[in-house]
Structures are given as C-alpha cells and as structure tokens.
Amino acid sequence: MFVDVAKIHLKAGNGGNGAVSFHREKYVAAGGPDGGDGGRGGNIIFKADSNLSTLADFRYKRKYCAEPGENGRASRCSGKSAPDLVISVPQGTLVKDAETGRLIADISDDTPVIIAKGGNGGWGNSHFATSTRQVPRFAKNGNPGEELDVVLELKLLADVGLIGFPNVGKSTLVSVVSEAKPKIANYHFTTLTPVLGVVRVDEGASFVMADIPGLIEGAGEGVGLGHEFLRHVERCRMLIHVIDISGSEGRDPKDDFEKINKELSVFSEELSQRPQIIAGNKCDMLDEEQIEEYRVYFEEKGYKFFPIIAPIAEGTKELISFVAGELSKLPPIIKYEAEPKPLEDFTKKNKRTFSIRVCDGVFFVENAPWLMDVMNTVDPDDYESLQYFERVLRSSGIIDALVDAGVKEGDTVSVYDIEFDYVN
C-alpha cells in the first residue's frame, strides 16, 4: 500500500545522572569527591534510504525512543553515552512539527539530520568541590531528551511530472519512455499511486519522470485522488500535460486543459507557473488539419505542443529530447529550507515558571516541574546542598515572589516534598 503521510512520536534519550561519590582508599585521608558525569542521551536521526518508496512502515510503529545515557560512577568515571537512533525514510520526506506545522527538515539527500536531540549528562559532585565546599553531597541529574510529535510527508523527487485527466495515456507514456511498469487499462483511475520511471536520454544522461494519478475537476479541493497526490508534483521542475486530443472520452480536449490548469492554481499558484509542455495523445484518430489546429491553439498560449501516439511510441522521441534540453536550463529539484524554531519556543523551554498559593498560612510553591529535577539533587541533611537549593530559589525569582505574596519570618514554605521555615 502506498502511504505518503504519517504521524509519529519521537523521544530522544535522557542524559545520565551525575554521581555523588567520595574517594575511599587506604592511607589516603580525605580523598574528596570523585563522582563522575552522566552520559549523553541518544539523538534521533533521520536518514534517506533510496530503497524505500513509501512511509508504510510508520503505520505499524508510531513511537520511537532513543536510549538514555548511563549514570556517572565513582572514581570520576563518566557514564557511557547512548547510541543514536537512526530512522530510515524515503528520499523526499518532509519532517514537520505536528503541533505548529513548522518544517524541521527536508530529507532529500544522503545527509543525516538530527530531529530530536538527546539530553546532556548531569555533572557529578566532583564538579562542585571548592575551597569552601569540600564535601559536596549533591550532583546534577541529566537533562531530558527532546520529545515531540512529527508529521512525515513524502514529496517524490522527480524532474518531470505527468499531469492530465484519467485515461489520457499518462501511464502508457511513462511505460514506453522508461523501464517503469505501471498498471495500464481502459478505465479511469487505473493508476492509484504515483509511479516513477527513469528516462535515459543518452549515455550518462537521464531524468526521473513521475506519473501522477487522479487529477480531475475539483482535484485541488480534494475531489478524486488529486488532493492526495498533487503534493508529489510540487518538486517537479517541469510538467508534461498529457491530453487526449481525440476526445474519445466525450470531453473537449481544450476544456480539459483549462480545467487541469485551474486545479493546479487552486492547489498552488507557484505550481501553476511551472514550465509546461503539451503532449497531444491519440493523434492517430485525427487528420493533419485537426492536429495543426491544436498546435496553433496551444502555441498561441505559449506552450510547446507535441502530437504523440503513446502505445507505439510515435512522437515520444522528439518529446523526450526537447524535455531533456529544457531540463538542462532549469534549476535543480526543489529542496525546502527548514524553518527556524520561533524565539518564543526557546523562551518557553528555558523559562522557569512557577506559582505561589497561600493556604492556612502555608506558602506553597507549585507548577514548577523544572524544580523537581533540582530537588532530586538536594540532600536536606547537608548544609552546602541546602545553600545550593537556596541559590536556585533566589535566582529563579521564587524568593521574591514569596515576599510579594506576604511571607514573613517564621512562615512555613512548602516546595513539593520539602517544607522549611522562611528566614529573611
């Protein structure tokens, strides 16, 4: 089954915790703190794999978690950093933030991209030893790894896109000019998934052609299969508009042309401006005068016109030669630039939020999940550890907020599992 959109959850590895340890060795008095640092958590990396063509694997596994770093150990031994989790995706996959829609990365080449960063390891207590604090009984926990939901969207990498109504001969054309073997039959919507074919022009020269299914009137607004697959035309450098100029389906070929171009405009104004060539298929059912009438009509609109008979490859050589020449003048396949993370995201991430609630004379510090990580490193029985905790309360503005809330000498302050009497 062809799947070109998937939503998954990513969780990079947490950093390992720093260790609280003191050197103990015979004949070595007061060896001092020697707790090692925690290891870095594993990153989540996306890498393109040319052997993949759909996002079907992500229908069955939707949660990806990297391993955490190891905790620090005694003797200043740092914990081992966790291996990165590498996720393979098809070339042309866009990775977007599911919450904001921000484009995080375009996986279009062989360059691996870090999507979620692992947390840094925490410092061991050996980092906190000073001339006045010689016995630090606390260490830092590792930082959490990044966690987010992302939407994967596949946009095929093709130089040329074939567009047109169903049953006009797009699949037949791609089958005779390349090695692709799409399903071909005399009914609408034979092709249910985009088909890629490599067209070899000369030795060492080739380009990729994509047969895009499902374009009918209303496709730009979701009618038929067009809304599902128009995204795969967006990267194409050029479009070949295949038209049944014989009118064998009972439609007016000129009207078909106008309707499909209108749908391109509805979907993307930029896409409607892409270079376009007209391939008039089934021309064997018309005489020379009628073919010339169509040539004049399209060339007056600024489009190069090629009459072809796709099943027997009549006229396709001239069409492909012209396309190859035009592609050499056009810029490479579009690669989308990642959008920078908004400044408010960094502010929100780094902001130490909290709230103060007063109940029966007790001042509660709440809604401060970041403070739990700090408290996990605090030893209530160690004076220097408590000094460190006090500095965090002051630097984060909690002490000032308590004063503004009316705290007085001797009042009880409750910070999660710790209660203490306020001393000015």
Domains and CATH numbers, the chain: 1-157 (2.70.210.12), 160-327 (3.40.50.300), 344-421 (3.30.300.350)
Question: Any bridge partners for residue 8, and if so which?
Answer: 150
Q: pLDDT class for 228, splitting at 50, 70, 90? A: low
- pLDDT tens readout for residues 62-95: 999 999 999 999 989 999 999 999 999 998 999 9
Q: Counting Cβ atoms within 10 Å, is residue 258 exposed (0-12), middle (13-18) or buried (19+)?
A: exposed
* Contact between 78 and 37 (Cβ < 8 Å): yes
SS3 294: helix
SS3 of 336-379: CCCCCCCHHHHHHHHCCCCEEEEECCEEEEECCHHHHHHHCCCC
Per-residue pLDDT, 192: 58
> Token pair of 1, please?
């089954």
Comparing 141-150, 163-172, 343-352, the range with the smallest average pLDDT is 343-352
- pLDDT tens readout for residues 20-59: 899 888 777 777 899 999 999 999 999 999 888 788 889 8
- Does residue 417 register a pLDDT over 70? no
What is the model's pTM?
Answer: 0.72
Torsion of CA 120, 121, 126, 131, to 10 degrees: 30
Helices and strands (DSSP H and E) totals, the chain: 10, 18
With CA atoms as reference, report the closest residue to 319 among 219, 419, 191, 169.
Answer: 169
314 phi/psi in degrees, rounded to 5: -75, 120
